[in-house]
Amino acid sequence: DAGITQSPRHKVTETGTPVTLRCHQTENHRYMYWYRQDPGHGLRLIHYSYGVKDTDKGEVSDGYSVSRSKTEDFLLTLESATSSQTSVYFCAIMGRQGGGYTFGSGTRLTVV
Amino acid sequence: DQQVKQNSPSLSVQEGRISILNCDYTNSMFDYFLWYKKYPAEGPTFLISISSIKDKNEDGRFTVFLNKSAKHLSLHIVPSQPGDSAVYFCAASEGNNDMRFGAGTRLTVKP
């Protein structure tokens, strides 16, 4: 499968603390995405990147920031975690034309 | 504002029978539609896609049908197998970017 890894796989953090999730790809894809998955909502786009230092907001970007300093790494930061940010976070890269996105295995984040 | 809707949270079918998963969308600008399959503790994996210039696309046991006038698409799995048991997400986009997903349908195929 495409080389895309997320870290950590699981994290428990306290309300108000900063948290950074990492997505790393070895496919040299230009586009990278961060989604969150919640029951009843499916996957919702948080932020995406279309190149180094080029990022844009998705439909649920409030409370999140991202950075892309290298093609292979896309970081998602929760500046001050809240309980509403408890979710499973997926990173994705755009696959071959017509092939949709390739997703990482996800990070389960719990904010207590 | 959910632009892609999967109104059935779950579906149960017998092995060997047909599974039909449905999806509706509201944005008429969507021109690319996909289905993803997701197993527990894994990321979604791409299953099949269709562009708006077609009304059917087939890949082995999986067929996706698109009805643009009704803003409706469906995924048919024939014959269904126990290994098909998973959550299926419908997705749509304008181009291949900013993809919007439905809430998912959990398919259970009983032996």
Structure tokens at B50: 């269709």
Residues of A in contact with B103 (CB under 8 A): 39-42
Higher pLDDT among residues A100 and A53, named by residue: A53
Judged by CB atoms closer than 8 Å, whether chains meet at A45 and B4 is answered as no
Q: What is the mean pLDDT of residues A3-12?
A: 95
Neighbours of A69 (CB within 10 A): 10
Q: Which residue among A90, A95, A106 places its CB closest to the CB of B46?
A: A95
- Looking at residue B96, its pLDDT comes to 64
Q: Are strands B19-25 and B32-38 parallel, antiparallel or unpaired?
A: unpaired
Residues of A in contact with B106 (CB under 8 A): none
Q: Is B20 on the interface with A (CB under 8 A)?
A: no
What pLDDT, in 10s, does the model give residues B25-39? Answer: 999 999 999 999 999
The DSSP 8-state label assigned to residue B17 in this structure reads S
Judged by CB atoms closer than 8 Å, whether chains meet at A94 and B97 is answered as yes
Q: Is B57 on the interface with A (CB under 8 A)?
A: no
A104, A4 Cβ separation under 8 angstroms: yes
What pLDDT, in 10s, does the model give residues A13-55? Answer: 999 999 999 999 998 999 999 999 998 888 999 999 999 999 9
3-state helix, strand, coil in chain A (%, to 5): 5, 60, 40
- pLDDT over threshold 90, residue A56: yes
The DSSP 8-state label assigned to residue A83 in this structure reads G
What is the residue-wise DSSP string for B50-79? EETT-SEEEETTEEEEEETTTTEEEEEESS
Size of interface A-B (CB pairs under 8 A): 58
A46, A38 Cβ separation under 8 angstroms: no
- The whole-chain average pLDDT of chain A stands at 93
CA distance, residue B9 to nearest chain A CA (Å): 8
- pLDDT over threshold 80, residue B95: no
CA dist., res. A46 & res. B97, Å (int): 13
- pLDDT over threshold 70, residue B61: yes
- Looking at residue A12, its pLDDT comes to 97
B71, B24 Cβ separation under 8 angstroms: yes
- Looking at residue A98, its pLDDT comes to 61
- pLDDT over threshold 70, residue B13: yes
Q: What is the mean pLDDT of residues B55-76?
A: 97
Q: Are strands B10-14 and B105-110 parallel, antiparallel or unpaired?
A: parallel
CA dist., res. B98 & res. B52, Å (int): 16
Q: Which of B8, B98, B106 best tests the A interface by mutation, with the highest count of A CBs <10 A?
A: B98
